[in-house]
């Protein structure tokens, strides 16, 4: 008995990248950002003094996310990924500085 091919396969689907309300995506992104900074133990006060340029880049990226209202995931995720990269850079820079001072 021959299997019927489904009318639409997953590969044929066009995934929608609909605009999402800020009410939907901002709390999730905020929680993620809080988790990342908590996990890293990033100290923004130290960062302001040790690397003000990196601090400004992080804050500018946060402001970019704050200005977004209705946005698609393809608009939100690059900004979140960029922010995470900057935070991780700050974390690793701080960790390397701490290792050198030991």
pLDDT tens for 32-83 read 999 999 999 988 999 999 999 999 999 999 999 999 999 999 999 999 999 9
pLDDT value of residue 9? 53
> Does the pLDDT at position 1 exceed 70?
no
At residue 99 the predicted structure's pLDDT band, cuts being 50, 70 and 90, is confident
At residue 3 the predicted structure's pLDDT band, cuts being 50, 70 and 90, is low
Cα–Cα distance, 16 to 58 (Å, whole number): 30
Phi-psi sector, 41: left (phi>0), alpha (psi -120 to 50), beta: left
pLDDT value of residue 94? 86
Question: What mean pLDDT is predicted for residues 12-32?
Answer: 84
At residue 18 the predicted structure's pLDDT band, cuts being 50, 70 and 90, is confident
Q: Which DSSP letter does residue 8 get? A: S
Crossing angle of the two packed helices 73-100 and 52-67, in degrees rounded to 10? 160
> Does the pLDDT at position 29 exceed 90?
yes
């Amino acid at each position: 008995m021959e299997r019927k091919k489904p009318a639409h396969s997953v590969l044929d689907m066009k995934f929608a990248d609909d605009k999402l309300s800020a009410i939907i995506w901002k709390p999730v992104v905020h929680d993620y950002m809080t988790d990342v900074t908590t996990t890293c133990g990033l100290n923004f006060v130290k960062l302001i003094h040790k690397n003000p340029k990196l601090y400004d880049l992080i804050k500018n990226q946060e402001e970019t996310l704050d200005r977004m209202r209705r946005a698609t995931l393809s608009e939100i995720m690059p900004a979140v990924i960029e922010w995470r990269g900057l935070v991780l850079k700050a974390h690793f820079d701080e960790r390397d500085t701490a290792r050198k001072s030991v």
